Chain A
Amino acid sequence: MRIAADIGGTFTDVVSLDESTGELAYGKSLSTPGELTRGVMVGVESLPNPLADTSLFIHGSTVVINAILERKGARTALITTKGFADVYEIGRINRPESFNPRFRKHRPLIPRDMVFELDERVQADGTIRVPFDTEEAEALSREVVAKGAEAVAVLFLHSYAYPVHEQLMVEILRRANPQLFVTASHELSREYREYERTSTTAANAYVGPVVSSYLDQLDRGLRLEKFGGTLLIMQSNGGLSDVEMARRQCVQMMESGPAGGVIGAMAICEQLGIDSAVAFDMGGTSAKACVIQRGEPGVSADYFVGGYNEGLAIRIPVLDIVEVGMGGGSIAWLDDVGGLHVGPRSAGALPGPVCYGRGGSMPTITDANLLLGRIDALAFHGGNIPLDVQAARLAFEEQLNRPLGVSAHRAATGMLEVATSEMANAVRGVTLNRGLDPRDFTMIAFGGGGPLHGAAVARQLRIKRIVVPPAPGHFSAVGMLMADWRRDRVRTVFATLDQLEMAELEAAFGELERLGEAELSTSTAEPMAVVSERSADMRYAGQEHSVTVRVPSDLMLSGVGARAAIKQLFDMMHDRRYGHSAKEEPAQIVSIRVSTIGRLRKRMSRELATGRETPADESRVGERIVTFWDEEQLTAPVYERSGLLAGNVIRGPAVVQEPASTTPIARDEVVRVGLHGELVLAIGEE
């Protein structure tokens, strides 16, 4: 038995997989922000199998991101090179909101009076300009503790290449204060750029003590319920880590929830042999998109917690997800001069859409879907939440139809038109804006709203195929069950390719691989195979930005021609991503990267029984008038997803509904049910 538990903003989803039968079971509980692990335990109790039978428990949590956004971390100190105490506060000086007098910079997690300088300095080439003074460092260590620090971040300039001074400082701090949470920048990232490294290290120290006690609590809770298996933690890179690693590298947990959905989408791609896909996840407050190509998700080097404009830079590998503030709870509203907007204001889970009858009064996307017959008032969440159509209609009448002078039908379709356009921008953000043409992509649509809106969004980008996986509302947790153990390492080397000895490069890669494999060998996960993936961040001489190029591991062994081969891979990658390359210009390797992956044994969900092309009569539960993406109102048969069998074909107009979502099928669309219960919707077939 395996269990995955994913804490989201509103709900905590749990999924169990019976490895002998492939049976999946789902549970849900309300997230409990003050005491996150309680939601997990409540969710687990709702599952059919006891924890005692569970060999692997996978967990994704918002604990890190909450602690940072709510500023509820530890009292933290920063120790840095003399002359550079303000690097953290100065940041990168950019002003994204160019006309806003009220723009704000990022707000450091460590106040300036908790930033300390040590008189030491290493130059870019490794020359020691000011040597490390042990006595001064010891005095500083005492001062930091006297100031009440519970955690300490250490960053010295050029430590990505020459970490010795950081190592000395950390040793002094840890020896004198075993209980202190200490992080040095080189332990988290060996990549140049001091502000980004400082910000990452500071965040890690800031959440360190919180994460430690959280993990203790979770572990204790699980053991109390007789859990005797392995606990692994979901990270932002889409891989799993041991609890011990999660304690030291806390920031890696930052975006674990969204990562689960993308990993699930990757598994679907593998199952169905899809080369290029975009994972499209629409929930209550936001919609997210991420690209998967040849089995790998897009990874971004630029992550900001709290958003780009005012957020803090965190330099860890994070799946390249573009998000827009558009979800089922997004509200339509008019500004002071009567301009219409949809989102990013959201009714959230409470009070929620008007039709929930929990006090919501502003028209939401969910209300519009209800008025257009796209969701069923009586079958929402399996009928557990009866929806109030009348209340929704009244809210539209008062707040949109009358002030804007449009029909009730137009107000609802208009809202969806705006929402579609905005969500299409998220998909554009990960495809066209990255030099990828989405036309040949398949969309994997999940989250409660993904299946409802996926096809309309796909049409804007000329995507012709959409896959709706089983249980789209639990997909992030399901995805976590498909993840592997993973650790990414980076090291800045600043080498000119023409002058670099290939043996030296091989040795550098080899060292990172050994570190990764050594770490994996002590892991509690029991991988069936170990894979190391090499890549290099490269640029043309004179450029600042680099692109990451995959370097096949067997390339070095060939020796002769390796340099030219790397250059060629880089030229090709540059051309693909940026539309041009400069074959005659010399290239540099800025950093090298190694990902160590421990492949875990996996078992896909059970196969569905195969039926005929025409769905069984019992699966057809009624019909209703539905408005589709083109505003056409048609009488559509309604199918219950649980009654469908593999091989069933449904031609639009029709609707497939299930407890947490609905898939409308327009007139020129066809759905085929796959072997594992996935709905494969083709656009442009009548």
Chain B
Amino acid sequence: MTTLNTARMAAGRREADAFTSEVIRSAMVAISSEMKTNLMRTAYNTVIYEAEDFTVGIFDEHGNTVSIGLGLPMFIRGLSDAVKAKLNHWGREDIHPGDILLTNDPAVMGSHLNHMIFTLPVFNEGELLAFVSSMAHWQDIGGQLGGATRDLFTEGLQVPFVKIFKRGVQDAELTDMIRANIRIPERMMGDMRAQIAAIRTGDHRVSDVLQRYGNELFRSSLAILYEQSEATARQAVSEIPDGVYQAESFMDDDGVVVGRRIPIRVEVTVRGDDMTIDLSGCSPQVAGYFNSGPTAGRSAAEVAFKFLTSPTLLPINEGSFRPLKIVLPPGRIVSATKPAAVRMWMTVPMTVVDTIFKALATACPKRVIAGHHADLALVHVYGIDPVTGHSTIFREPGMSGLSGGGWGALADRDGQSATVCLNDGDTHNTPVEAAEAKTPFVILRRALRRDSGGPGRFRGGLGVVQETRMLVPGRLESRVERTQCAPWGLAGGGDGAPNRVAVVRCDGQKERDRGTGKIPLTDLEVEEGYTIETGGGGGFGSPFEREPASVLSDVLAGYVSLEAAEQEYGVVLHSGEQSLEVDAEATAARRKEERVGA
């Protein structure tokens, strides 16, 4: 084997050059991607392999991100923070080859207890060189089923820093302790094996690279990669004018005190090639389950920063974030302290990201994006499965129940329609044919939501409307957010329509929300159901500057109604010989009148 895999190639070079670091970069991207495939292939639960609620990655000896494979975009910071916390807890000297370090503590990774994080140290020639780690969403972690949680204890089993494997040997007692606290432990143990298989794969591949290039060449290559990523990010920041930029928005409520708004305030300071994002102005932590740990707040800032500075650069690494300073005192809704409830941790950070873009809209209009629907917009339906006779969740988030919604427009482009929210990445919806084959309901309509895109010179993307009717009796519960604070437009663009959910009774009567998308458990009869309407994206620029031809084609396509064309865009259309045509004169007059009126 040594003749095949000799280090001859690298022998004689002590310092990494541009080529070596590029090879290491490409290898790290490939390894994190292989870890990802490995986890998805072997995971038992659908939340992992359908909704991609996981993240895997490679970290340097200090816990800094070398490359992460997503998974979950909003978990950009979670793994690195967890690895650093573990390193800090045990210290280098107490971490040994074959140890697998586990925790699910929201205080160190920001999200909920379902996110179990396993970490394996990588050694070469007796030296600790790197870590490989995997987070995956366990379908159950104990705790209360459904309903509103008010503290961490009701949400499940808390696993502090523990070694589930010590020098390669699994701790049987600790494993039993975990098994005893979760429902369907066989499935969860399957997921645990999948996570461990993924990090062992990562360990093998990183070790391979270390053997080929040696420890020093690996370290110096990482240094070059960090510097390059940092340089790219700094160049982008330096193109944003210096200044202090602020914005605010709000959430509907915390799910417990229904109807009481939750303020989100951000302040962004740009000085040269440094940026500071200050989240001190966000609401204090709340009584309900929408809190998240400090890592989630920092992740929101980093996600925004990544969008703004190096959106397509891979791998996502430590260097990319060096120009960013985050101010986030403890006790805010995105830096909650124990024992705050965090089950829906993913909701608020999305709005934080959008609010950061909003703050920078005047500073760097070409880099930002108008507001999006910013919620998973999930409705849970429970009932008795007519085949098995068991009580079941008809649609769990993994399978996937997501509709997607509108994304905001850019300074030069319309927003995307029907796309998953910021928290999620390569997550899919469930085909109607798959959902109906599995679940006793019928979907009557899945369509783009007309006029939901915020009007603008560039229009926001459209949300989705879906109407569902039960074929057997069932119960429904909804935790839909952002039904009040509409996805905002930028630079004079209009708002998109906000999220909306309604129970539909047999007589066709709709029970609308009352200032909230949270519906407590509600009984449904046969042919009763619900309608979920996801929000559209915000528009960009004044709708009165939109090309009349674009408005016409939007009307022909059905994205925009005739009335909205005239009222929102000032474009008057009339029937031509073949189809609708722009009435140029009336449009000019209408647009002029609007300007004078304004």
Alpha-carbon distance between A577 and B434 when the two chains are bound, in angstroms = 23
A104 is an interface residue with CB less than 8 A from chain B: yes
Chain A nearest CB: distance from B428 CB in Å? Answer: 4
Q: Tell me, yes or no, whether B444 is within 8 Å of chain A by CB.
A: yes
The interface residues of chain B lying within 8 Å CB-to-CB of A435 are: 41
Judged by DSSP, the binding face of A is: loop
Contact A113 B556 (CB under 8 A): yes
The residues of B that contact A415 with a CB separation of less than 8 Å are 19
Complex CA distance for A194 and B447, rounded to whole angstroms: 13
Q: Mark out the residues of chain A between 364 and 395 whose CB falls within 8 Å of any chain B CB in the assembled complex.
A: none
8 contacts between A and B (CB under 8 A): A90-B404, A90-B429, A94-B426, A99-B307, A101-B367, A105-B416, A418-B19, A462-B4
Cβ A95 vs Cβ B448 within 8 A: no
A100 to B46, alpha carbons, bound, how many Å? 26
Q: How far is the CA of A530 from the CA of B56 in the complex (A)?
A: 48
Contact stretch, chosen from B95-103, B228-236, B335-343, B478-486: B228-236
A339 close to chain B: CB less than 8 A: yes
A129 and B436 CA atoms in complex are apart in Å by 13
- When A90-B417, A96-B425, A544-B434 are in contact, do A631 and B9 touch as well, CB less than 8 Å? yes
Q: How far is the CA of A89 from the CA of B193 in the complex (A)?
A: 38
With a cutoff of 8 Å between Cβ atoms, the chain B residues found around residue A432 in the complex are: 34
Q: Are B228 and A192 in contact (CB under 8 A)?
A: no
Per-position contact with B for A413-448: 1 when CB-CB < 8 Å, else 0? 111011001100100100011010000000000000
Q: Contact at B22–A418, with CB atoms within 8 Å?
A: yes
Which one, B23-31, B163-171, B588-596, is touching chain A?
B23-31
- Shortest C-beta distance, B169 to chain A (Å), equals 21
**Nearest B-chain residue to A148, judged by Cβ:** B578
Residues of B389-417 whose CB lies within 8 A of A? 399, 402-404, 410, 413, 416-417
Instruction: Decide yes or no whether B575 CB sits under 8 A from chain A.
Output: no
A178 within 8 A of B: no
CA distance A129 to B303 in the complex (A): 46
Candidates A94, A97, A160, A630; contact of B312 at CB < 8 Å: A97
Using known A-B contacts A99-B307, A459-B5, A462-B1, determine if residue A89 contacts B446 with beta carbons closer than 8 Å: no
A341 touches B404 (CB 8 A): no
Distance from B14 Cβ to chain A, minimum over Cβ atoms (Å): 14
Which residues, 89 to 119 on A, are CB-close (under 8 Å) to B? 89-105, 111-113
State whether B442 touches A123 (Cβ < 8 A). Answer: yes
Asked, given contacts A193-B433, A435-B41, A683-B4, whether A630 binds B9 with beta carbons under 8 Å apart, the answer is yes
Nearest chain-A residue to B190 (Cβ)?
A580
Max chain A Cβ within 10 angstroms of own Cβ: one of B8, B30, B420, B444: B30
Taking a contact as CB atoms closer than 8 A, the residue among B21, B41, B431 that contacts A579 in the complex is B41
Cβ of B258 within 8 Å of any chain A Cβ, yes or no, is no
A404 at the interface (CB under 8 A from B): yes
Q: If the complex has contacts A93-B402, A580-B42, are A83 and B446 also in contact, measured as CB distance less than 8 A?
A: yes
Asked if A542 is an interface residue, CB under 8 A from chain B, the answer is yes
Q: Which of A93, A98, A112, A544 contacts B399 (CB 8 A)?
A: A544
Return the chain B residue nearest A577 by Cβ.
Answer: B41
Q: Is A336 an interface residue (CB 8 A)?
A: yes
Contacts of A668 in B (CB 8 A): 3
From A93, A337, A417, A631, give the contact of B404 (CB < 8 A): A93
The reply on B424 being an interface residue by CB < 8 A is yes
| Top 4 closest pairs, chain A to chain B, by CB | A414-B19, A93-B404, A83-B445, A98-B425
Tell yes or no: A85 within 8 A of B by CB. Answer: yes
Find out whether the CB atom of B27 lies under 8 angstroms from the CB atom of A421.
yes
Which A residues are in CB contact (< 8 Å) with B193? Answer: 580
Task: Check if B445 sits within 8 Å of A425, measured CB to CB.
Answer: no
Proximity bits, A192-210, B CB within 8 Å = 1, else 0 = 1111100000000000000
Tell me if B432 counts as interface (CB < 8 A to partner A). yes
For residue B19, which residues in chain A have a CB less than 8 angstroms away from its CB?
Answer: 340, 406, 410-411, 413-415, 417-418
Partner of A86, one of B8, B425, B447: B447
A341 and B419 contacting across the interface, CB-CB below 8 Å: no
Chain A, residues 176-196, CB within 8 Å of chain B (1/0): the string is: 000000000000000011111
Q: B447: which A residues are within 8 A, CB to CB?
A: 83-86, 90
Please encode chain B, from 201 to 232, with 1 for each CB lying within 8 Å of some chain A CB and 0 for all others.
Answer: 00000000000000000000000000010011
Binding site for A on B (CB under 8 A): 1, 3-6, 8-9, 17-23, 26-27, 30, 33-34, 37-38, 41-42, 46, 49-50, 70, 73, 190, 193, 197, 228, 231-232, 235, 303, 306-307, 311-312, 316, 367-369, 399, 402-404, 410, 413, 416-420, 424-429, 431-434, 436-437, 442-448, 464, 467, 471, 556-559
Closest approach, in angstroms, between the C-beta of B350 and any C-beta of chain A? 13
**A543: CB under 8 A from chain B?**
yes
Contact (Cβ within 8 A) B235 A336: yes
Q: Are A102 and B420 in contact (CB under 8 A)?
A: no
CA distance A579 to B464 in the complex (A): 38
Q: Which residues from 64 to 96 on chain A have a C-beta closer than 8 Å to any C-beta of chain B?
A: 83-87, 89-96
- In the assembled complex, which residues on chain B have CB atoms less than 8 Å from the CB atom of A515? none
For the complex, give the distance between the alpha carbons of A418 and B22 in Å. Answer: 7
CA distance A244 to B9 in the complex (A): 55
Roughly how many angstroms separate A632 CA and B12 CA in the complex, as a whole number?
A: 12
Q: Are B426 and A98 in contact (CB under 8 A)?
A: yes
A92 in contact with B307 (CB, 8 Å)? no
Q: Is the CB of B49 within 8 A of A93?
A: no
Q: Are B30 and A93 in contact (CB under 8 A)?
A: no
Whether A124 contacts B437 by the Cβ 8 Å rule is yes
Decide: A341 and B22 in contact? CB cutoff 8 A: yes
Q: Closest A-chain residue to B404, C-beta based?
A: A93
Asked whether B367 lies within 8 Å of A95 as measured between CB atoms, the reply is no
- The A534-555 residues at the B interface (CB cut-off 8 A) are 542-545
CB-based contact A545/B49 at 8 Å? yes
Partner of B46, one of A194, A542, A578: A542
Q: Is B17 within 8 A of A414, CB to CB? A: yes
A421–B550 CA distance with the chains assembled, in angstroms: 46
A46 → B minimal CB distance (Å)? 41
Q: Chain B residues near A567: list those with CB within 8 A.
A: none
A342 close to chain B: CB less than 8 A:
yes
Quote the shortest CB–CB distance from A363 to chain B (angstroms): 13
Q: Is the CB of B26 within 8 A of A421?
A: yes
Is A158 located at the chain interface by the 8 A CB criterion?
yes
> In the complex the two chains form, what is the Cα distance from A93 to B417 in whole Å?
9
- Tell me the complex Cα distance, A195–B431, Å: 7
Q: From residue B40, how far is it (CB to closest CB) to chain A in Å?
A: 9
Contacts of A336 in B (CB 8 A): 232, 235
A491 in the interface (beta carbon within 8 A): no
Given contacts A113-B558, A464-B4, contact A90 B23 (CB under 8 A): no
Inter-subunit contact B418/A579 (CB<8 Å): no
Q: Does A154 contact B (CB under 8 A)?
A: no
CB A426 to nearest CB in B, in angstroms, measures 10
- Is the CB–CB distance between B558 and A102 below 8 Å? no
Chain B hits for A579, CB < 8 A: 41-42, 197
What chain B residues lie within 8 Å of A414 (beta carbons)?
A: 17-20, 22
**Shortest Cβ gap from B405 to chain A (Å):** 9
Q: Return chain A residues, CB-CB under 8 Å to B38.
A: 433
Which residues of the partner chain A approach B312 to less than 8 Å between Cβ atoms? Answer: 97, 99-100
Q: Which residues of A contact B427 (CB under 8 A)?
A: 93-95
Q: A84-B445, A87-B446, A432-B34 are in contact. Are A192 and B434 (CB under 8 A)?
A: yes
Q: Select B464's contact among A90, A195, A339, A632, beta carbons within 8 Å.
A: A90
With A90-B448, A418-B23, A544-B46 as given contacts, are A425 and B367 in contact (CB-CB < 8 Å)? no
Contact residues of A between 614 and 660, Cβ < 8 Å to B: 629-632
Residue from B21, B316, B417 whose CB has the most chain A CB atoms within 10 Å: B417
